[in-house]
Amino acid sequence: MSKTLQQFLAEQFSAGNIDQQLSDLLNAVADLSKNINDKVTHGALAGVLGFAGTDNVQGEHQKKLDIITNEVFIDGVEWTGSIAAMASEEMDHSLSTPAEFRRGKYLIMFDPLDGSSNIDINAPIGSIFSISEAPEGKVTDESFLKKGRSQVAAGYVMYSPQTILTLTVGHGVYMFTLNLGTGQYILTKENIRIPEQTQEFAINMSNMRHWEPPVQKYVKELLEGETGPLGKNFNMRWVAAMVAEVHRVLCRGGIFMYPRDNRDPSKPGKLRLMYEANPMAMLIEQAGGRATNGHEDILDLQPEKLHQRVAVFLGSKEEVDRVTSYHKN
To the question of whether residue 305 is assigned a binding role by annotation, the answer is: no
Q: Could you tell me where in the chain the CATH 3.40.190.80 domains are found? A: 200-328
Asked if 195 and 319 touch (Cβ cutoff 8 Å), the reply is no
Question: In terms of residues, how long is the chain?
Answer: 329
Q: Give CA–CA dist 133/199, Å, rounded.
A: 38
Using pLDDT thresholds of 50, 70 and 90, give the confidence band for residue 297. Answer: very high
- Topology of the domain covering 200-328: D-Maltodextrin-Binding Protein; domain 2 (3.40.190)
Using pLDDT thresholds of 50, 70 and 90, give the confidence band for residue 71. Answer: very high
What's the pTM? 0.95
Neighbours of 106 (CB within 10 A): 23
Name the superfamily (CATH) of residues 5-189. Fructose-1,6-Bisphosphatase, subunit A, domain 1 (3.30.540.10)
3-state SS assignment for residue 65? helix
Question: In the chain, at which residue ranges do the beta strands (DSSP E only) sit?
Answer: 51-55, 61-63, 83-88, 95-96, 106-114, 125-133, 151-159, 163-168, 174-179, 184-189, 200-202, 235-237, 255-258, 271-272, 290-292, 309-310, 312-315
Span 299-320, average pLDDT: 97
Q: 165-176, pLDDT tens digit by residue?
A: 999 999 999 999
323 against 329, higher pLDDT: 323
CA distances from 216 to 145, 176, 205, 311 (A): 32, 37, 10, 14
- Rounded to 5 degrees, what are φ and ψ at 290? -140, 150
Across the chain, mean pLDDT equals 95
Residue 235 has a pLDDT of 98
β partners of residue 156: 128, 166
Q: 72-97, pLDDT tens digit by residue?
A: 999 999 999 999 999 999 999 999 99
DSSP secondary structure, 95-111, as one string:
EEPPTTS---SEEEEEE
Q: 53-69, pLDDT tens digit by residue?
A: 676 666 666 778 889 99
To the question of whether residue 111 is assigned a binding role by annotation, the answer is: yes
To the question of whether residue 276 is assigned a binding role by annotation, the answer is: yes
Residue 117 has a pLDDT of 82
Q: Give CA–CA dist 232/235, Å, rounded.
A: 10
Q: 4-24, pLDDT tens digit by residue?
A: 999 999 999 999 999 999 999
Please, what is the end-to-end C-alpha distance for the chain in angstroms?
Answer: 52
Type and span of the H or E element at 324: helix 317-328
Question: Measured at the alpha carbon of residue 270, what is the angle toward residues 256 and 74, in degrees to the nearest 5?
Answer: 100
> Shortest CA distance to 215 belongs to which of 76, 318, 326, 82?
326
Question: In 59-183, at which residue ranges do the beta strands (DSSP E only) sit?
Answer: 61-63, 83-88, 95-96, 106-114, 125-133, 151-159, 163-168, 174-179
Q: 240-273, pLDDT tens digit by residue?
A: 999 999 999 999 999 999 999 998 888 889 999 9
Helix-then-strand count for the chain, H and E: 7, 17
CA torsion, points 50, 53, 58, 64, in degrees to nearest 10?
-40
To the question of whether residue 204 is assigned a binding role by annotation, the answer is: yes
To the question of whether residue 115 is assigned a binding role by annotation, the answer is: yes
To the question of whether residue 114 is assigned a binding role by annotation, the answer is: yes
Q: Could you tell me where in the chain the CATH 3.30.540.10 domains are found? A: 5-189
